[in-house]
């Protein structure tokens, strides 16, 4: 069964670009190996991640995410079955970006998918605070 999980958490300490690169590289490797798609955003100590995949891989991945000592206050915002992946064809599934242009790209992508993928509007609503370029200093791993 295909599921999506969205969670938000706080970094234990602010991450510099080197640490973010290391984290994003690790996230891409793990998610790719488990056929997990989604997006990970980081903004001034706050993470939000959308994960999509088969339940048999997604549930253990989320359990390991909860054990990761780099963040705390992990709050699951969404956990539901999905008919299809939203991020399956977005970029390279988990690519790393470090500037503002991806925010417009992500928002446009989600808006275009609203008629194709049933949960795209829910995901857009959850990401909206992170997509505000006036307040966001975003680092993102997307996929």
Q: How confident is the model at residue 8 (pLDDT cuts 50, 70, 90)?
A: very high
pTM of the entire predicted model: 0.80
136, pLDDT greater than 50: no
Rg, Å, the chain Cα set: 14
Instruction: Work out the end-to-end distance of the chain between its first and last CA atoms, rounded to an integer number of angstroms.
Output: 20
Q: How far apart are CA 86 and CA 38, in angstroms?
A: 8
Q: What is the mean pLDDT of residues 96-123?
A: 71
The predicted-structure confidence for 33-91, as pLDDT tens digits, reads as follows 889 998 888 877 888 889 999 999 999 999 999 999 989 999 999 999 998 888 887 75
């Amino acid at each position: 069964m295909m599921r999506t999980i969205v969670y938000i958490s706080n970094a234990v300490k602010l991450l510099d670009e080197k640490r973010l690169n290391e984290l994003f590289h690790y996230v891409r490797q793990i998610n790719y190996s488990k056929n997990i798609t989604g997006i990970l955003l980081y903004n001034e100590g706050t993470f939000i991640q959308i994960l999509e995949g088969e339940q048999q891989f997604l549930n253990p991945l989320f359990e390991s995410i909860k054990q990761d000592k780099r963040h705390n206050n992990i709050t699951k915002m969404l956990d539901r079955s999905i008919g299809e992946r939203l991020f399956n064809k977005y970029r390279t599934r988990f690519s790393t970006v470090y500037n503002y242009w991806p925010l417009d790209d992500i928002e446009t992508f989600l808006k275009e998918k609203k008629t194709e993928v049933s949960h795209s509007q829910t995901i857009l609503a959850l990401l909206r605070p992170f997509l505000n370029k006036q307040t966001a200093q975003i680092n993102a791993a997307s996929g």
